[in-house]
Amino acid sequence: MPSEILEIAVEVDGEAAEAVSELFNRYNGGDWEEDSEAGEASGGGAVIEATGFDDFHRPVEGEYRVVVKTYLKPGPRGQEIRRQIEEGLWRLSLLYPIPEPAIRIVREEDWAHAWKKFYKPLRIGERVLLVPAWEETETRPDDIVVKLEPGMAFGTGMHPTTRLCVLALEELVQPGMAVLDVGTGSGVLAIVAAKLGATSIVATDIDPLAIDATQDNAARNEVSFGEGGILNIQQGSIPANQAGRYPVVVANILAEILVGLFEGRYGNVPLAEPVAPGGHMILSGILDEKAGMVLEAAARHGLIEVDRKQESDWVALVVRKEKNNK
């Protein structure tokens, strides 16, 4: 096994962090497994390092910093992935203020441990405690503990949109409730819903790596999935034939994609269809300046804003479907 690894790091902010993470996961996603034909390994996905928080895990102006990293092993396959990533970053730089990537060689044993220092137990709201899988931490009797293995970009609690969604879920989910999580990523929101008492949860994502991550994290948290389980994990977007089924739907994606989902541009089922009359939808992944466009799309489907949560420039919108809308 090689002792040196190539690190590609990009310092970004706002929406660019999600775009860079998606790029890294697309070209360098999955576990590092040996390629029997090429005799080399690749994979690893995106890792997010965020610093500059106060004691309440709020970003401190002038100190908050996000660096998205990915790691390549040497060999022809690694060189090809590096070329694809550099081309992709150049294309993204036409849309976002993305600097040149910092590229350096790190020792494998240093890489294996150093990134974990950025992930610590994180308390959200009154009861939810997100804990890295390798950490032991003190808990309170009524804590809802969710253990995660970070590494698949967002969905670890490091990003404000995840925390805002958890806050909203804590307020809305009641025991026995059905919940739909669109674009589940690491599965953290679906797992939180299960820990809050939801007994019928569907988690969807178009990315097969996200499906694998959700299954792993569900097993880690003893949330039953598959046949007979309370969590149904599906590759795809908005499930068909589920009109009005879910009292709570959560979608933590991006503003433009949310608008497209409402209009049915990414499938045959519009985003509002599965929401039960009188039910709520949590919409996040939204920069404050783009909240209006999402609310306009929601309003066209009978959804009105009833709450808004904000951290830094990010917001989570809670909308309710009027009972006379099917």
Q: Where are the beta strands (DSSP E) in the chain?
A: 4-12, 33-35, 40-42, 47-51, 65-72, 102-107, 122-124, 128-132, 144-148, 178-182, 200-205, 231-235, 246-252, 275-287, 303-311, 314-321
For residue 38, the model assigns a pLDDT of 35
Task: Between 192 and 57, name the one with better pLDDT.
Answer: 192
pLDDT at 230 over 90: yes
Let me know: does 46 contact 16? Beta carbons within 8 Å.
no
Residue ranges and CATH numbers for the domains of the chain are 4-118 (3.30.70), 122-321 (3.40.50.150)
Residue 41 confidence (pLDDT): 39
Strand partners, 33: 42
Closest CA to 253 of 273, 271, 235, 268: 271
- The first and second tokens of residue 277, run together, are 């009359």
**Predicted pLDDT of residue 69:** 84
Read off the pLDDT band of 326 (50, 70, 90). Answer: low
Q: Tell me the helix, strand and coil percentages in the chain, rounded to 5.
A: 30, 30, 40
CA distances to 113, 118, 164, 211, 259 from 186, in Å = 21, 17, 16, 8, 22
Chain-centroid distance, C-alpha 179? 17
Mean pLDDT lowest among 84-93, 100-109, 140-149, 164-173: 100-109
Task: Read off the pLDDT band of 39 (50, 70, 90).
Answer: very low
Instruction: Assess whether pLDDT exceeds 60 at residue 266.
Output: yes
Residues 303-325 pLDDT 10s: 999 999 998 788 999 999 987 76
Q: What is the DSSP letter of 156?
A: S
Contacts of 25 (CB under 8 A, 6+ apart): 45, 46, 152, 153, 207, 209
Is pLDDT above 90 for 201? yes
Using alpha carbons only, what angle is made at residue 8 by residues 216 and 113, rounded to the nearest 5 degrees?
A: 50
Q: Mean pLDDT, to the nearest integer, of 14-33?
A: 70
Judged by average pLDDT, the poorest of 109-123, 140-154, 175-189 is: 109-123
Q: Are 60 and 121 in contact (CB under 8 A)?
A: no
Residue 183's pLDDT is what?
Answer: 92
pLDDT (mean) for 92-101: 86
From 100-114, 200-214, 262-276, the region with the lowest mean pLDDT: 100-114
pLDDT of 151 strictly over 70: no
pLDDT in the model for residue 153: 42
pLDDT at 46: 67
**204, 277, 268: which is closest to 244 by C-alpha?**
277
pLDDT by residue (tens digit) across 155-174? 556 678 888 999 999 999 99
Comparison of pLDDT for 93 and 27, the residue scoring more: 93
Q: What pLDDT does residue 248 have? A: 98
pLDDT of the residue at 157: 63
Exposure b/e, 142-162, CB count within 10 A at least 16 = b: ebbebbbebbbbbbbbbbbbb
Please check whether residue 46 is in contact with residue 21, taking contact to mean a CB–CB distance below 8 angstroms.
yes
